[in-house]
Amino acid sequence: MKKYICIAAMLGCAIAHAQQVQEGSIDEVNILGRKKIKQERAEFKRHGQSVETLSEEDLNRNNPAAIDQTLSTMPGLQVDKRTNFGGQRLVLRGYGNDQKFNNWGVKAYWNNMPLTNAEGVTVLDDVDFAYVTNVEVIKGPAATMYGGGVGGAVRFYTRPDFTKGASISENAMFGAFKTFQSRTQLNVADENYSVSAAYGHLETDGYRPNGGGLKNFFNVNGTVKLGKKDQLSFFASQAYSYEHTSGQISYDDYYAGIDNGNPAYIRKNSGTKIKSTRVGLSNMVSLTSNLRNYTTLFYYNANTESVSAGAYGVTSSPNVGLRSTFTLKNEFKDFENRLDFGAEIQNSVSTTSSYRFTGSETEPLQTTGMSGASYFKYNNNQSTYFVIDYLTYKPWGLTLLAGISANRTNYDRTDLYALPGLIAGRKDQSFNKKYDMAYTPHFALQKEWKHQIFNLSYSEGYNSPTAASSFITATNMTNDDLKPERARMFDFSVHGLLLNTKLDYRISAFRIDYSDKLTQLVIPNSPIPGQTYWANTGSQKNTGLEFSIGYQYRSENSFIERVVPFVNLSYYDAKYKSFTTIVGGKEDSYNHQNVVGVPRNKYALGLDIYTKQGFYLLNTYNYLGQVYTNFNNKNLVKGFGLLNAKLGYKKTFGKFDVDLYVMGNNLTNQINYTFLFLGNNINDSDKGSNYSVPTDLNPGPNKSYFFYGANLKYRF
């Protein structure tokens, strides 16, 4: 793979040297291809590494709330989930799949507000994806711009609509698993402001036993132009999410198409309730003719109540911070210079309590009492300071990007159950941990030639351990030997337009080296079975090739108005190197083994047809290759492909917009999964599960299922 990157880079440099005059910048091109392309190319240039986007049209290929199905069609991105519409796990270029819960190591944003908290953990259950209109995915280490996280970044947006006037819309969908979803939205806009308010509701019985879910959202989003060079934006969200948990099943049941759920979860009516509030206030202002600032203040708080197979937990996690970026632009003769510099600062003061279950089948919610309980108060801080310079030689369309960020993380935990005399024999589990300042550079060389953009980049990532993993409960001591993960990536990417800009393509070849890989290990001879700790177990190398191509055919004189086919392909070669675990005094080396959970290939095919009369047909086939689940590569899980389609009618009648549709998922009845336990998380066996074998898999629906919907909009 390394030689392919070198060959591609030399080809790009040769083209850049040969081309002396740039033939039309991207801003001047009237792109005739897919709707997402102009923004995607602009973000590719700004980030100086592989970037892909999804437009509102892309997000509506399927149910927007099922964000896993839509995002997983992108090359380089895989989205797992543990429940119907929650427990999502983002996996970018093979990184991010070694967590049982939530996300760690991949940064997420919504309208410039971090969804990732000060501890580096991302929860997506309470995000109203039906209110999202645009997604950007930055692949690979992007710490120079976004701070902690070695996997990359995913940015969700709700864009303002400045179409003059007022409108009200009602979207409703119902179908399989007694699912009902609705959204009522009001938009009011003029040339100087845009405000929208939406209420969303989602309920389902789910396709699994005890698999129901309920979500309610209220969102307000607006932008006001205070002047020609001054813009104020605000965002507020109130959310309630209750996702029931069915638990994992065995591989034997999975391949047999049997899903009775896991009794250890079902007896307890397991699930996760989240009540959250999110508020953001942004200001974009031109301070001078060449200096601009974009600052966002944000606040988030979630009250979470969870029941799992092993414990009952309650968490309150307020998170507050700011992200501010200054942009300074200058031009001199044939050169243009852009300097971005700023900071992102977060603080989280949370409390969390946990009470272990005994595993009793007759009294499922019986706990082990206060002796096995915990109640902690955390004060977590994360800060990133960055500077990025873009120097462009305009006659050649050649840009050099150079940037660096400084990242700091520290935790302070107080054990609220460690008061003298409160619990007999209680050991104080308070601790504080401060990780050294980490510096992450990014260098890129970009060349524009006709409608092609070539980019050769080197970037680094940094991922500090979480507060919980920085302490070893069994030994009652801070995990002082634990070091942050680091990542180094070489990436050569091309984003191009051909056939009069109707055809778009992206090619990326990359190599990512992860060092000090963080792995969860089981503590030998622990008085509490299954108790774990975190350790740096070595390194791994992920190399890959990503390719995507799309085309938009338009006709003004036929029944067919538009035909939009696309192909997305990912090829990976991910291997461990110098990767060793020590469990029970036994040392096991997994050098040159395949990285768990990373398929050799994944691809997506699409064919969309739109007619002048308003009828449309959207077809998507998404394939995920086979993966290993254990470090020694003994357990191989078969790959699968899912065929989805959406048939609809969309038309405007005067002031009314109408969209009627039927969606079918898994049309070929394929056995598939939505979540795997991997690495040292395998061999899961909960007390009272009634399984005599490990349960490491969450299955998806193995039969075709359908939804029916209507979207109505009236413009005043």
pLDDT of residue 3 exceeding 60, the answer is no
pLDDT of residue 222 exceeding 90, the answer is yes
Residue 528: which pLDDT band, with cuts at 50, 70 and 90?
low
Going by their DSSP bridges, the two strands 271-286 and 213-227 should be labelled as unpaired
Tell me: the pLDDT tens digits for 162-171?
889 999 999 9
Tell me: the pLDDT tens digits for 703-713?
999 999 999 99
Query: Which residue is it, tokens 């873009």?
Result: 390
Query: Which residue is it, tokens 């009237």?
Result: 30
**In this structure, which amino acid lies at residue 202?**
L
Which tokens belong to 566?
């696309």
pLDDT of residue 269 exceeding 60, the answer is yes
The runs of H, that is alpha helices, within 157-218 are none
Residue 52: which pLDDT band, with cuts at 50, 70 and 90?
very high
pLDDT of residue 699 exceeding 90, the answer is yes
Going by their DSSP bridges, the two strands 152-157 and 106-110 should be labelled as parallel
Q: Residue 556's pLDDT is what?
A: 84
Which tokens belong to 31?
């792109």
Residues 6+ apart with CB under 8 A from 542: 93, 94, 95, 510, 511, 512, 514, 572, 573, 574, 595, 598
Tell me: the pLDDT tens digits for 368-384?
999 889 999 999 999 99
Identify which has the larger pLDDT, 627 or 534.
627
Q: Where are the beta strands (DSSP E) in 612-639?
A: 615-624, 627-628, 636-637
- Three-state DSSP state, 144: helix
Q: For residue 21, what are the CA distances in angstroms to 15, 94, 412, 593?
A: 12, 39, 56, 48
Q: What is the three-state SS of 701-715?
A: CCCCEEEEEEEEEEE
- Three-state DSSP state, 681: helix
Lowest mean pLDDT among 67-76, 254-263, 338-347, 519-528: 519-528
The runs of H, that is alpha helices, within 239-284 are 251-255, 263-266
Mean of pLDDT values over 162-181: 95
Residue 331: which pLDDT band, with cuts at 50, 70 and 90?
very high
Q: Residue 474's pLDDT is what?
A: 76
Query: Which residue is it, tokens 């600032």?
Result: 293
Which one, of 53, 28, 25, lies nearest residue 39 by Cα? 53
Q: Residue 586's pLDDT is what?
A: 75
Residue 16: which pLDDT band, with cuts at 50, 70 and 90?
very low
Tell me: the pLDDT tens digits for 18-44?
333 333 344 445 777 788 888 899 999
Interatomic CA distance for residues 454 and 9, integer angstroms: 9
Mean of pLDDT values over 457-473: 89
Q: For residue 42, what are the CA distances in angstroms to 9, 25, 53, 284?
A: 21, 11, 11, 19
Q: Residue 529's pLDDT is what?
A: 62
Residue 582: which pLDDT band, with cuts at 50, 70 and 90?
confident
pLDDT of residue 282 exceeding 50, the answer is yes
pLDDT of residue 346 exceeding 80, the answer is yes
Q: Residue 18's pLDDT is what?
A: 36
Mean of pLDDT values over 61-90: 91
Interatomic CA distance for residues 253 and 257, integer angstroms: 6
Residues 6+ apart with CB under 8 A from 393: 334, 335, 399
* Cross-strand pairs, 600: none
Which tokens belong to 704?
């075709």
Q: What is the mean pLDDT of the chain?
A: 90
* Cross-strand pairs, 454: 447, 494
Q: Residue 8's pLDDT is what?
A: 42
Q: Residue 184's pLDDT is what?
A: 97
Residues 6+ apart with CB under 8 A from 520: 98, 469, 532, 533, 534, 679, 680, 681
Which tokens belong to 645?
């389609």
Residue 421 burial (CB < 10 Å; 0-12/13-18/19+)?
exposed
Mean of pLDDT values over 213-239: 95
Which tokens belong to 557?
């004189």
Which one, of 170, 219, 160, 234, lies nearest residue 191 by Cα? 160
Helix-strand-coil split of the chain, %, nearest 5: 10, 55, 35
Q: Residue 476's pLDDT is what?
A: 82
Computed on alpha carbons and rounded to an integer, the radius of gyration of the chain in Å comes to 25
Q: Residue 530's pLDDT is what?
A: 63
Residues 6+ apart with CB under 8 A from 390: 337, 338, 339, 340, 399, 400, 401
User: Cβ atoms within 10 A of the Cβ of 462, count?
Assistant: 27
Mean of pLDDT values over 100-116: 88
Which tokens belong to 345?
């600062």
Which tokens belong to 181?
């979803």
Tell me: the pLDDT tens digits for 635-686?
999 999 999 999 999 999 999 999 999 999 999 999 999 999 998 888 888 8
Q: Residue 595's pLDDT is what?
A: 94
The answer to whether the CB of 652 falls within 8 A of the CB of 169 is no
Tell me: the pLDDT tens digits for 426-463?
889 999 999 999 999 999 999 999 899 999 999 999 88
